[in-house]
């Protein structure tokens, strides 16, 4: 199993409950594909480097987890169609 870090930028138009539900959904997907979540780091609302879908700010989360190599591909496929997710990036951490 490898260690990964997932950066997720959510829309600021969603309320706190919706953002929390989205993160819980992502954590559930990680566990469903055989991974274990090590931690969630919430950075809050930050200004984006450029406009995405006419939005200038996003809500940042960083999720660290351990999983097999197939998990990030499955996870990205599911996050691609989530309404509240503006951007995401999953990278493997070096051991």
The whole-number pLDDT of residue 45 equals 92
Per the CB < 8 A criterion, the answer to whether 14 and 84 are in contact is yes
The whole-number pLDDT of residue 20 equals 92
Total of domains in the chain: 1
Give the CATH number of the domain where residue 88 resides: 3.30.70.60
Average pLDDT along the chain, 95 residues, taken 10 residues at a time: 92 90 93 91 92 92 92 90 91 83
Instruction: Look up the pTM and report it.
Output: 0.88
The whole-number pLDDT of residue 94 equals 79
What are the φ/ψ torsions at residue 30 (nearest 5 degrees)?
-60, -45
Looking up tokens 């992502």 gives 26
Q: What six digits make up the tokens of 75?
A: 């996870």
Distance CA 18, CA 89 (A): 20
The whole-number pLDDT of residue 95 equals 63
């Amino acid at each position: 199993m490898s260690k990964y870090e997932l950066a997720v930028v959510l829309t600021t138009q969603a309320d706190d409950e919706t953002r929390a539900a989205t993160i819980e959904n992502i954590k559930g997907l990680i566990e469903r594909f055989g991974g274990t979540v090590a931690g969630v780091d919430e950075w809050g609302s930050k200004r984006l480097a450029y406009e995405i879908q006419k939005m200038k700010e996003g809500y940042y989360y960083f999720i660290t987890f351990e999983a097999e190599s197939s998990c990030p591909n499955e996870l990205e496929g599911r996050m691609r169609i989530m309404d509240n997710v503006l951007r995401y990036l999953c990278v493997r951490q070096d051991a």
